[in-house]
A and B are shown apart, each in its own frame.
Chain A
Amino acid sequence: QVQLQESGPGLVKPSGTLSLTCAVSGDSIRSNKWWSWVRQPPGKGLEWIGEIDYSGSTSYNPSLKSRVTISVDTSKNQFSLKVSSVTAADTAVYYCAREKPYSNPFYMDVWGKGTTVTVSS
């Protein structure tokens, strides 16, 4: 059974950097899949942040690209998200998800439970 678990600070100061990690169990991050981050501001819809494969190839949401970095650590079977220069608008529940290769776009078949990040001083 594949499981994804997000972890990281729940509170980040404005202008700081948000850092989260997603630990993958039950599947190898080296497998033929991609791994993504999605966020959901309070009371709002889903926003795709970006994705990465085991080799480190990435794709980002153009609206966030200048502030986002997604990386992978194959030795720990996990991947990570960094968002710099955060503001209150980055307050959200952050989900990590597994993407199954399919005709564009890939679909997200396994999701973490999500972690709440609040940007506040």
Chain B
Amino acid sequence: QSVLTQPPSVSGAPGQRVTISCTGSSSNIGAGYHVHWYQQLPGAAPKLLIYGNNNRPSGVPDRFSGSKSGTSASLAITGLQAEDEANYYCQSYDTSLSGSVLFGEGTKLTVL
């Protein structure tokens, strides 16, 4: 069971803005560890979307943005497109239980 909590699902119409939250605690996000975000299209491997809380790798549209505050992080997607329909995962580090890289539970984005 992950200690990074994400909503199981979010949805939005084409062109709208949606946000996906990633809620942690003082032993992970709140301790200052960075948050990275991945997009996993159906049947595909995960793809890096955001690194270091709010940085986009080359090739990722600026419709995708990340932020972090306190013990939580968020991924925002503006101008929703049909091809954004995917699962999204946050990633950080946790110092409890001997420390470990961990992923959030994942959020399924449905474009209506």
Residues in A lying within 8 Å of B, measured CB to CB: 36, 38, 45-48, 51, 59, 61-63, 65, 95, 100, 102-109, 111-114
Residues of chain A with a CB closer than 8 A to B112's CB? none
Find the B residue at minimum CB distance from A62: B98
Residues of chain B with a CB closer than 8 A to A59's CB? 101
Instruction: Determine which residue in A48, A108, A114 has the highest number of CB atoms from chain B within 10 A of its CB, and name it.
Output: A108
Mask for B83-112, Cβ within 8 A of A = 1, else 0? Answer: 000010101110001111111111000000
CA distance A36 to B101 in the complex (A): 11
Residues of chain A with a CB closer than 8 A to B45's CB? 95, 111-114
Q: Can you list 17 A-B pairs, Cβ within 8 angstroms, ordered by A?
A: A45-B87, A45-B104, A46-B46, A46-B106, A62-B99, A62-B100, A65-B98, A95-B46, A102-B52, A103-B33, A104-B34, A105-B34, A105-B92, A106-B101, A109-B57, A113-B44, A113-B45
Find the B residue at minimum CB distance from A49: B101
In the complex, which of the residues A45, A65, A113 contacts B103, with contact meaning CB atoms closer than 8 Å? Answer: A45
CA distance A65 to B101 in the complex (A): 13
